[in-house]
């Protein structure tokens, strides 16, 4: 990408570096919070969230639980993502509302935002699903932590996916959902069984013909224990799932909005996962993907890097 000589020449690499620098400057606001009051929630430009301690188990898989009333709700502004392609120049929605609770052994967040379309399929190449994520890192932290962590300071990310939620609620969503008249090449012993066969119907010896499932690709698993994937980041483009997938959650769409709960144990199960302790502070951010706006990968709405405090 260039401009005329009189305006100066900008290379693509220079543009990306400049965008990163601008974003880092924004990240410099990480621990300064601007607040106002609207609709009973504190309006924040940078997340400043307190996880209240409760005596009951946290409702990590129930976003409609009355226990969420024990936590203060904050409304956090979202911004676009202009560092890694594909870009999002403006946020898909203006803000996301957040509550947090912990019970001394687990922590849970509830996120909610307006969404008229609630996209839950990712089968066709034109399908994009809704999703949200919680980003946790050490505090205090360098500004570079905002760029998906560093080698010296890995971050833990918990991403809830609407398509995984639909798989859990309604059964595995396969090709016939998007293409009712699709023709299948099937495993002959299943010819007399339910049609079309589900991956779970295939005997273990035949699953080598379903390579994504056979090699353990988490995106290819037809049977899901949770709609939340726990990931580690050490920089842009480095996300990988942790060996132990013990994050849980649930998403419910009602009255034109998503309500999503996401939780995990306070203790770290794997190397690189950030452990959490009551009375301590941690770096925090949130991300949102809107399927109707064709969000995927780096194309997302994000918050600034803020702070999480676990009540002692």
Task: Report yes or no on 193 lying in a domain.
Answer: no
Q: Is 205 within the bounds of a domain? A: no
Q: What is the pLDDT of residues 234-271, one digit of tens each?
A: 998 899 999 999 999 999 999 999 999 999 999 999 99
Question: Is the pLDDT higher at 209 or at 49?
Answer: 49
Structural domain contains residue 79: yes
Residue 190 maps to a domain: no
Provide the domain limits for residue 283.
33-172+223-310
Cβ atoms of residues 229 and 217 within 8 Å? no
Q: Is residue 37 part of a domain?
A: yes
Q: What is the pLDDT of residues 122-140, one digit of tens each?
A: 999 999 999 999 999 999 9
Asked if residue 11 belongs to a domain, the reply is no
- Give per-residue pLDDT as tens, 214-236: 888 888 888 899 999 999 999 98
- pLDDT value of residue 160: 98
Whole-angstrom distance, CA of residue 272 vs CA of residue 227: 22
Q: Is residue 155 part of a domain?
A: yes
Residue-wise pLDDT for 84-133, tens only, equals 899 999 999 999 999 999 999 999 999 999 999 999 999 999 999 999 99
Residue 236 lies in a domain: yes
Q: Which CATH number is 101's domain given? A: 2.60.40.1190
Q: Which residue has the tokens 């649930």?
A: 250
Q: Which residue has tokens 């997938």? A: 245
Total number of domains in the chain: 1
Decide: 121 and 177 in contact? Cβ < 8 Å.
yes
Task: Give the phi and the psi of residue 211 in degrees, each rounded to 5.
Answer: -60, -40
Question: pTM for this one?
Answer: 0.85
């Amino acid at each position: 990408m260039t401009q005329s000589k009189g305006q100066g020449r900008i290379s693509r690499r220079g543009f990306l570096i400049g965008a990163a620098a601008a974003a880092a400057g924004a990240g410099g606001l990480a621990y300064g919070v601007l607040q106002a009051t609207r609709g009973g929630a504190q309006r924040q430009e940078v997340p400043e969230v307190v996880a209240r301690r409760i005596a009951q188990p946290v409702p990590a898989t129930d976003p409609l639980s009355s226990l969420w009333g024990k936590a203060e709700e904050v409304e956090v502004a979202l911004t676009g993502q202009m560092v890694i392609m594909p870009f999002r120049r403006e946020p898909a929605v203006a803000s996301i509302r957040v509550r947090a609770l912990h019970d001394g052994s687990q922590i849970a967040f509830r996120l909610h935002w307006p969404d008229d379309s609630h996209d839950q399929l990712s089968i066709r190449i034109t399908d994009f699903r809704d999703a949200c994520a919680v980003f946790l890192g050490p505090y205090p932290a360098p500004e570079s932590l905002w760029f998906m962590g560093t080698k010296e300071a890995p971050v833990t990310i918990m991403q809830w996916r609407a398509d995984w939620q639909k798989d859990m609620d309604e059964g595995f969503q396969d090709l016939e959902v998007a293409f009712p008249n699709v023709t299948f090449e099937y495993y002959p012993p299943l010819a007399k069984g339910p049609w079309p066969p589900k991956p779970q119907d295939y005997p273990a010896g035949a699953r080598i013909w379903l390579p994504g499932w056979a090699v353990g690709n988490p995106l290819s698993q037809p049977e899901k224990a949770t709609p939340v994937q726990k990931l580690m980041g050490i920089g842009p483009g480095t996300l990988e799932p942790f060996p132990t997938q013990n994050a849980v959650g649930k998403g419910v769409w009602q009255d034109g909005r998503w309500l999503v709960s996401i939780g995990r144990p306070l203790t770290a199960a794997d190397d690189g996962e950030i452990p959490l302790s009551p009375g301590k502070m941690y770096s925090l951010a949130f991300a949102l993907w809107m399927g109707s706006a064709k969000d995927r990968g780096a194309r997302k709405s994000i918050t600034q890097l803020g702070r999480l405090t676990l009540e002692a």
